[in-house]
Structure 1
Amino acid sequence: DGLCMYSRFYEAEQMFGFMVSKGCFPDVVTYSILINGYCKSRKVEHGMRLFFEMSQRGVVRNTVTYTIIIQGYCRAGKLNVAEEFFKQMVFCGVPPNIITYNVLLHGLCDNGKIEKALVVLEDMQKSGMDADIVTYNIIIRGMCKAGEVADAWDLYCSLSLKGLVPDIWTYTTMMLGLYKKGLRREADALFRKMKEDGILPSECYGYS
């Protein structure tokens, strides 16, 4: 894990090979660590080689493994591939968790695919999984980035009905969206609301 953290992949793979030569076969955790290292370094294809090798060695891929691959392709801007792996994951009976959904939603929203993100959110809720504040922060940010500030505001206003409490990122994202639309009065009112809720302005790193 330490070698992957510092992008020393050659040494990591050497260690990997040494383990195998000594009869210590890598498990799903070992594979996932290596794949994650490659994906974080934008070397998704190298990660995919290990992903396919897992099935050849009889190592069962888990939720973490699939989530890493989905995130890797989202970061590479290959959303269609990321979505295909998400579908494959579900088809193979590997259950996505909240992190998997948030990773996919982040990729979609970051690339302006808000409508598709909302469909994924709906599917997520139909599966019985509750979205958390991170999920809604991702979508609110995506809407603001796409200029859909009114929709973002409606979603923000619905959070209390969902039993969710806005955090620093919710406020920051929404305020910046309002400011960019020229809605300074509304943004200032939200800033005051943030302080009333006990979130100090000094904590609001992204707000200026």
Structure 2
Amino acid sequence: MQTLITNISQRIRQVYQKAEGFIEDEREIPLSQVFLNATFQRFVTDNVKMLQDLHADLHDDWLRLYATLDYNGLNITLSVDLKLVLMELNKDTQLIVFEQISDTQVIEASYPSFLHKIAVKCALFYYQKIRNDDPLGMILEKLKVIKVKDDLLHLDLNRWLGQNRSIIDTLSKVHVNHAVLREAELVLTGNVNLTALFRKMSEEKLDNVEDSLADTQVTPLKQK
């Protein structure tokens, strides 16, 4: 029975090998804003000591990112508008790339002293007005949250997701090629990996067969 099921599974996989194991038609996978922010909390915020909060408000084709930092008595909440450039999620890569489309704004802040307040305002003015640059990328890079490459913000989730076997197992079945921002929603565009799905189905069937065989085994009667 096990050989039969294995052969059927292998035959099905061979049919789809010409398509490299992926359905040609891309599928949309919608994720809510709440789910995305919960993911940031679990895999980013909880792993960066000075980062108290990281969440986003999603809109059509752009998002507003909020970051709350706590450092040496300075507690400050910053916001910035970003455009989603790239999202790639598979078993090898978990990468999100953003383009900054606005200056960083100070939403709320508490300073340990008046001098710290002046220093922060002067630093923002210097970067944004004189250097024509923005400090947010530099700040998040120093906190090892992102990397700045070619003026784009690269958020590599592999540092945290790569250690989660359940997530990597899921990503072996779904290859996300891109994503689109909509109001309060992130819509992933990806392919379903049929090879991985059929392999999983085969394993589950084998487990069921083994359980069934175990349940139907009869202990031989002893001869008197």
TM-score range relative to shorter protein: under 0.3
Larger strand proportion, structure 1 or 2? 2
Larger helix proportion, structure 1 or 2? 1
For CA contacts below 8 A with separation 6 or more, give which structure has more relative contact order. Answer: 2
TM-score normalised by length of structure 2: 0.21
TM-score normalised by length of structure 1: 0.22
Rg larger in structure: 2
